[in-house]
Structure 1
Amino acid sequence: MDRFLQQTVGGHMTRAPKVVTRDLTLRELCGLFERDDFNAYPVEDQSQVIGMVSKFDALACFGFTRARIMRRYDDLMKLAVMDVMTPEFIYVGTETKLTRVLELIVNHRITSMPVIESGQRLAGIISRSDVMHALQWCSRNST
């Protein structure tokens, strides 16, 4: 476990992750979720991360209350990612310790977060699976 305490995001993140653009439709996004089996994508505009969009964000469009009547399915599927994404998101840097990532994942119940460099440029993505693999790797390679 001591080895895990020293690990940083840069050694365990997924580099060059798949991203989506702000103009992608909800229909196209749902197709990507099904094809790639991802839970979330970073949203980029002009090579900068401007948000995250998750399966939860997509599903939230279909919820309705007394104050909000549900729109027609076809109308909802035409929404753009920018209409459903989360513009305020948690992110980390390559030097962030995996212990901090683990804390963020558990406390905020998120599946993944972007790894951002200066200028809001995407360096990669770190997911729950990446952290679990790091934990397993550290336990196998402990001295």
Structure 2
Amino acid sequence: MFEFLEAVVQDYMTADIKTVGRSMTLADLEQRFEADDYNTYPVVEGDDVIGVVSKFDFLKCFAFTTYSLVPHYDDLMKQTVGDVMTAEYIYVGPATKLTRVLQLMVEHRLRSMPVLGPKGGLVGMISRVDVVHALGVATRNL
């Protein structure tokens, strides 16, 4: 288990990731979620990560409440990623310990989060699957 305590994000993150832009429609986003089997995409503008959009963000616009009526499905699907994304997001760096990642995931019920380099550029994503894999590697060595 000591191996997990020393493990860092850069050793387990996914570096080859796909991103979306804020102008992408929800209809296109839905297709991307299905094709890529991602739970969260970083939303980028130029070289900057301006937010994240998750399946949860996508589904929120379809939720019924006593305060709002849900528009027609086609109207909802014309909304953009910028309309539903989370602009204030949690991220980690490549040198962040996986114990900290695990803590953030549990505290904030996150499935994945962006990994930003020292200058703020996107270098990868770290997900629950990555953390589970790291735990498995650490416990196999016992």
The residue number in structure 2 matching 1:7 is: 7
Report whether the alignment pairs 1:85 with 2:60: no
Per-residue displacement from partner, 1:55-86 (whole Å, max 9, x unpaired)? 11000001132321111110110111010000
Taking the aligned partners of 2:141 and 2:102, their CA distance within structure 1 comes to 20
The size of the alignment, in residue pairs, is 142
Report the TM-score, using the length of structure 1 for normalisation: 0.95
Unpaired segments ≥5 residues, structure 1: none
Report whether the alignment pairs 1:129 with 2:124: no
**Paired residues for 1:32-51 under 5 Å:** 32-51=32-51
Report the TM-score, using the length of structure 2 for normalisation: 0.96
Q: How high is the sequence identity, in percent, across the aligned residues?
A: 54
Q: Read off the aligned partner of 2:25 and give its amino acid letter.
A: T
Unpaired segments ≥5 residues, structure 2: none
RMSD of aligned Cα (Å): 1.0
Which segments of structure 1 move beyond 3 Å, counting only runs of 4 or more? Answer: none
Taking the aligned partners of 1:10 and 1:85, their CA distance within structure 2 comes to 25
Q: Read off the aligned partner of 2:106 and give its amino acid letter.
A: V
Q: Say which structure is richer in strand.
A: 1
Per-residue displacement from partner, 1:84-127 (whole Å, max 9, x unpaired)? 00001110000100000001111111100000113431010000
The residue number in structure 2 matching 1:112 is: 112
Taking the aligned partners of 1:76 and 1:65, their CA distance within structure 2 comes to 15
